[in-house]
């Protein structure tokens, strides 16, 4: 939580990686677990299954029309962010894997050669330092971001479940493209768990929790919620809390008031439904 009086400094959006992730000793196990999260085999081994079971066998790599339509309507201000999340729920997305250099050996001619390669799940650091899983609507968008990436198709909810299983709280659709759209922790969890999602500033449970939090505070006239990152590009905190205060509060009184509110805002209704927030103070009469 932070408080400010001016517009937030713009954060850089998630960018294409400058270098490939370094391979790790646990890479194979991690990839296996990730693949299991995407699998539709109910925990059964893939051995003996026919490729006809693949629902994306005929996928040409183009962006799903419904997903592009929802993104365009969102950018035009015609629908809310929840419409994009619902479109992701019903769409195929592409998860990028990158081939990494494996164990090295020496050829008969004395040249260093790769004895094996491993595929790594591509994650990047977001503006706030958290790990971000990039996913893509199309092969074109993926290769614009990283030409070396290999697409793995998955249903939107399965991609969210895979991210959650890796401890990744943020998923960004089409980073570095016009269609870029960030899904923060509450939206990712809602997709993974099959629950509906609303932006926190319009979520009735969140609004009620904030209103209840100021009920006993004589120094607070009103609390209003608005989108902190309305474009969903990770350029600021998710939620902006506008706190209108009575005049004449001393710094000590203000600090004590904010400490009490912060404690109440740690309650489950807010903590699980709000990814991040900042506070803007305004003085009333």
Please calculate the CA angle 243-248-253 and round it to the nearest 5 degrees.
70
Q: How far apart are CA 72 and CA 93, in angstroms?
A: 17
**Residues 156, 120: contact at Cβ < 8 Å?**
no
Question: What's residue 283's pLDDT?
Answer: 81
Q: How far apart are CA 148 and CA 3, in angstroms?
A: 42
Q: What is the pLDDT along the chain (285 residues), one digit of tens a residue?
A: 544 544 445 454 554 443 333 334 444 444 445 444 444 433 433 344 343 456 777 889 999 999 999 999 999 999 999 999 999 999 999 999 987 765 555 555 656 555 545 677 789 999 999 999 999 999 999 999 999 999 999 999 999 999 998 899 999 999 999 999 999 999 999 999 999 999 999 999 999 999 999 999 999 999 999 999 999 999 999 999 999 999 999 999 999 999 999 999 999 889 999 999 999 999 865
HEC secondary structure over the chain: CCEECCCCCCCCCCCCCCCCCCCCCCHHHHHHHHHHHHCCCCCCCCCCCCHHHCCCCCCCCCCCHHHHHHHHHHHCCCCCHHHHHHHHHCCEEEEEEEEEECCEEECCCCCEEECCEEEEECCEECCCCCEEEEEECCHHHHHHHCCCCEEEEEEHHHHHHHHHHCCCCEEEECCCCCCCEEECHHHHHHHHHCCCCCCHHHCHHHHHHHHHHCCCCCCEEEEEEEECCCCCCCCCCCEEEEEEECCCCCHHHHHHHHHHHHHHHCCHHHHCCCCCEEEEEEECC
Question: What's residue 203's pLDDT?
Answer: 98
* Domains of the chain as residue ranges with CATH: 27-193 (no CATH), 199-283 (3.30.70)
pTM metric for this prediction? 0.78
Question: What's residue 101's pLDDT?
Answer: 61
**Residues 9, 137: contact at Cβ < 8 Å?**
no
């Amino acid at each position: 939580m932070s408080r400010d009086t001016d517009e937030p400094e713009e954060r850089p959006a998630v960018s294409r990686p400058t270098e490939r992730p370094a391979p790790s000793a646990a890479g194979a196990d991690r990839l296996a677990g990730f693949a299991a999260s995407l699998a539709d085999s109910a925990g059964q081994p893939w051995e003996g299954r026919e490729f006809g079971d693949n629902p994306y066998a005929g996928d040409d790599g183009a962006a799903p029309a419904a997903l592009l339509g929802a993104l365009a309507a969102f950018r035009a201000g015609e629908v809310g962010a929840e419409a994009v999340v619902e479109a992701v729920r019903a769409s195929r997305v592409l998860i990028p894997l990158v081939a990494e250099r494996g164990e090295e050996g020496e050829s008969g001619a004395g040249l260093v050669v790769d004895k094996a390669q491993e595929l790594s799940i591509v994650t990047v650091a977001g503006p706030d330092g958290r790990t971000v899983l990039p996913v893509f609507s199309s092969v074109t968008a993926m290769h614009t971001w990283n030409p070396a990436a290999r697409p793995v198709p998955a249903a939107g909810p399965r991609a969210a479940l895979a991210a959650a299983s890796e401890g990744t709280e943020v998923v960004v659709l089409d980073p570095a493209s016009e269609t870029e759209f960030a899904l923060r922790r509450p939206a990712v969890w809602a997709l993974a768990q099959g629950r509906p999602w609303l932006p926190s500033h319009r979520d009735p449970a969140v609004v009620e929790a904030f209103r209840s939090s100021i009920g006993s505070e004589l120094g607070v006239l009103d609390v209003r919620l608005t989108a902190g990152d309305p474009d969903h590009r990770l350029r600021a905190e998710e939620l902006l809390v506008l706190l209108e205060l009575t005049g004449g509060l001393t710094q000590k009184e203000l600090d004590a008031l904010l400490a009490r509110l912060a404690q109440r805002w740690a309650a489950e209704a807010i903590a699980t439904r709000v990814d991040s927030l900042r506070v803007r103070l305004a003085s009333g009469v």
